[in-house]
Chains A and B, each alone.
Chain A
Amino acid sequence: MSVRIFIVLLFFPFAGALAQPDANAIVREILRRNAIVKSFEADVTIDVDVDFIKIPVKQGRVFYKAPDKFRFRAPGFALIPKRGLNFSVMDMLSGPTTAIYAGADEKNHILKIVPLSEKADFVLSTFWVDMKNSRISKMEVNTRGKGNFMVEFTYGNIGYDLPETSRVSFDIQPVDIPMNFTGSFKIDKTKANERSQGVVFIRYSNYKVNGSIPDAVFTEE
């Protein structure tokens, strides 16, 4: 009897490991589902919340064409987050990386993505991937020298893995403006070199997926 218990205990961890989902397969599935989207356009609302920037909520239309053409059209000036847009996430996953299964929570697989290239602009990222739909719910990225950022996605019912909302939170260094020029910008010197947190909330609507988008849209002034 005690020998049986010993054998079970000895192999239990390995049994668990064998039952663990394949992280690389999950990543491949995410990429496969995203590859269905060749192009899209959508109305976008961008709300920037950074403690030293006040900018009105911007509404515009976003255009994307695989693999990397992107355009945001809006009247006036807009700040668009560099990271956390759906296609930039896919860029990150489709580069040379290795995926490690790091566990799961109630709804998500948790994957660690490690870049294999020295040129990659991130050191490590953690992805929370919805078990049901193989969609990214959340991701946290440690970049090379440019702080960390986190993106949370929610999805609607459009039939594609395109988000309805994205919430991008990131580190940002307060501005060191050598300027007495356009006003009085008072910087707290004790915080001058500290990074503070910023959040951008993006809401997408009126998606038009895999329609024809002329290339001129991406090149026009």
Chain B
Amino acid sequence: MMHRLIKLEFSKLFRRGLTYIGFGAILLIVLIIHAGMYAEGRKLLDLLMKNLSDVFVFQGDLINVYTVSYIILNSLWIHIPILVAIVSGDMLSGEAGRGTFRLLLTRPVSRLGLVTAKYITAQIYTAMLVIFLMLLSLGVGRIFYPTGDMIVLINTINIFGQTDVLWRFLAAFAYGIISMWVVSGLAFLFSGLSSSSLSSVLSTMAVIIVFTIISNFSLGIFEVIKPFLFTTYLNGWMLFFDDPVNWEKVISYAAIMIFHITAFFIATLVIFRKKDITT
């Protein structure tokens, strides 16, 4: 039954133009960054390595598919939540807005089943978006650039050998999926609270923006609040590009996010089960 419901949700999802906005935006941004890096990447790296060039001769090229993919990830990670929220924020409120809920719930489907199917669909879509980003940045990047060692700046200049890079990307994207599930879960929660897709998307973005600003402040009072904000953990994918990887931190961050994903789902379920369906 659940399988059929999810399949049905997917067919509905991919019939809407809204669903393709995320994929289109990612495609466009990735292509623009690839083209920009292809034209100007070397200048950027020269700037970065200026001080080191007094002491070292550089052998080999750091402008390669991995370095560029990392830059894409860094630039795009702020924007992916918007794309995720557009679809997840529409999952329940969209039905309410279109007035299809009453019709839908006349079918022999429990509210629990319906919300679960929609939640799973939203999360699969979110995962697809992140995987699309991965395939595009690494796959399309491979057309423009060779593979090679990657340079990353996290506290220090880390240069990773090319055999040490791919697993970091896979792990970072896996973490990225979990962190975007949190955003998707939040958008889904707002979607359950509202009957307007726009308001649930905007509410999600408002929460993320406010929390992100607080997460990035290093003032005393904010330091106390930070651990309780999920935005503090969203960019934890960067932990995989530190050397050595702080696994303890990765696991605790992932656990906190999984807690959020579950909590958002349960909250949505509780709200939706008690909700008067008037449209």
Q: Chain A interface (Cβ within 8 Å of chain B)?
A: 51-56, 60, 72, 74-83, 146, 170, 172-179, 181-186, 198
Contacts and interface: CB of A to CB of B under 8 A. Distances in A.
Nearest to A182: B153
Interface of B: 44, 47-48, 51-52, 54-62, 67, 70-71, 74-75, 148-149, 151-162, 164, 238, 241, 243
A173 B54 CA distance: 9
Contacts of B71: 181-182
Contact of B241 (A179, A183, A186, A198): A183
B56 A81 contact: yes
Contact of A172 (B55, B151, B241, B243): B55
Given A82-B54, A172-B52, A181-B44, A77 B153 contact: no
A184 B239 CA distance: 11
B238 A80 contact: no
A56 B52 contact: no
Contacts of B59: 60, 72, 74, 77-80
A26 to B, nearest CB: 29
A76 B149 contact: yes
A212 B156 CA distance: 42
Contacts of B162: 75-76
Given A78-B59, A79-B52, A170-B55, A52 B157 contact: yes
Given A77-B148, A78-B59, A79-B56, A54 B51 contact: no
A146 B54 CA distance: 7
A68 B229 CA distance: 59
B152 A77 contact: no
11 contacts: A54-B157, A54-B243, A55-B157, A55-B159, A56-B164, A76-B149, A82-B57, A146-B55, A173-B51, A182-B74, A183-B152
B116 to A, nearest CB: 38
Given A182-B70, A182-B152, 18 more contacts: A55-B159, A72-B59, A76-B148, A76-B162, A77-B148, A77-B159, A79-B52, A80-B59, A81-B55, A81-B56, A82-B55, A172-B51, A172-B55, A179-B48, A182-B71, A182-B74, A183-B154, A185-B157
A77 B156 contact: no
